[in-house]
Amino acid sequence: MHLPTKFAELPWPIRWLLMGGGGLVSAFASRLPEAWQDLGLYSGLTMIAIGVLATAHHHINIALAKNGISQIQLSIPHFIIIGLLVALGWIGWRLHVLSSTSAAPATVAVAPSLQAPAFPKQEPFKPRLTAYDVEQRERAIDQLLELLNPKLTAIAAQGASLSKMMISEMQNGTAVDALNKYADKARAAVTEYFEVAGRFQSQFPDIYLAAVASDWNPIEIAGASDQLISQIQQIQTRGQSIDIAYLIQNNKYWADWQQVTNGKTWTWINLKQTALTAKRREYEQAEVYPK
């Protein structure tokens, strides 16, 4: 059996089918200009229609010959005419569908709303306070403010003053005694403040939070002083008292103590005063029942 090896050796209906497929490829799978793509589409459909008709005619005639019936006599021009008519019919139908679609009013699909159903806005819960309730809370805040000023501000002021005099205290040999007195006063004042604040933790938790919430603990005032005392005593033990001022200035604990006395303590006091004062104003403006 001889198989065709060249395109020209293929039966003409097969060649038309292949060329029609090529036309469709140029229409849907190429980057040709739109006009050329339309030409490929229409010519490809025509060729495919002619190829299909010719192939169907061939097989129908084979079946007729087996049954002794006379074959249908059609030539290539007949197939071309019929294929053109089929292609033109398809094109006309397609143009009719496109014109009907463009004439129809455009509709825009609206996605269903994903927002939660609207509920009446509720005011934040406010406790019903009597005049006595407000007075109790104001007294609690005032106690804490009085501990901040004057007691803790006096500690901060003493620390800042001692910081300026510390080199002289070291040279005179009185630094350890001065630091011990300062650490004891600071520890007592800070402890008292937190003890008073702790009394309100369960009864007035918002006031307690305003009083203690911080990323720095002022008990470090005493802690930093204790560590600096230890460093000074070690230097004195080594018999270097004469050069103590020079040696201490490059010491980590000296730098930590300077930060505490010259910055952190004042910053913490100011933050607590601001928070507690704002809380007091909140209660001053609170609604009192019965009105």
Residues 6+ apart with CB under 8 A from 278: 210
Q: Is the pLDDT of residue 76 over 90?
A: no
Residue after which a domain boundary falls, among 75, 94, 113 = 94
pLDDT digits (tens, 9 = 90+) for 138-172: 999 999 999 999 999 999 999 999 999 988 888 88
Q: Looking at residues 66-84, what average pLDDT do you find?
A: 71
Q: Looking at residues 20-41, what average pLDDT do you find?
A: 60
Is the residue at 290 inside a domain? no
User: What's the CA gap between 51 and 106, in Å, rounded?
Assistant: 40
pLDDT value of residue 106: 47
pLDDT value of residue 67: 74
Contact 276, 211 (CB under 8 A): yes
pLDDT value of residue 173: 85
Whether 270 and 178 map to the same domain: the answer is yes
Q: Closest Cα partner for 25 from 39, 6, 8, 9?
A: 39
- Greater pLDDT, 68 or 115: 68
pLDDT value of residue 116: 43
pLDDT value of residue 117: 46
- Most confident range (mean pLDDT) of 27-41, 89-103, 125-139, 180-194 is 180-194
- Greater pLDDT, 76 or 164: 164
Is the residue at 1 inside a domain? no
Whether 37 and 178 map to the same domain: the answer is no
Side-chain-side CA neighbours of 34 within 13 Å: the count stands at 0
pLDDT value of residue 168: 87
pLDDT value of residue 135: 95
What's the pTM value of the predicted model, to 2 decimals?
0.56
CATH assignment at residue 198: 1.20.120
Whether 279 and 141 map to the same domain: the answer is yes
Range in 40-54, 159-173, 206-220, 244-258 with the lowest mean pLDDT: 40-54
Overall domain count for the chain: 2
User: What's the CA gap between 274 and 208, in Å, rounded?
Assistant: 14
Whether 88 and 141 map to the same domain: the answer is no
Q: Is the pLDDT of residue 19 over 70?
A: no
Cα–Cα distances (Å) from 223 to 190, 217, 233, 265, in that order, read 12, 10, 16, 13
- Most confident range (mean pLDDT) of 63-77, 105-119, 250-264 is 250-264
pLDDT value of residue 187: 97
pLDDT value of residue 92: 73
Mean pLDDT of the chain: 79
Contact 145, 193 (CB under 8 A): no
Residue 196 banded pLDDT, cuts 50, 70, 90:
very high
In terms of residue numbers, what domain contains 236? 131-284
Whether 205 and 65 map to the same domain: the answer is no
Say how far residue 63 (Cα) sits from the centre of its chain: 74
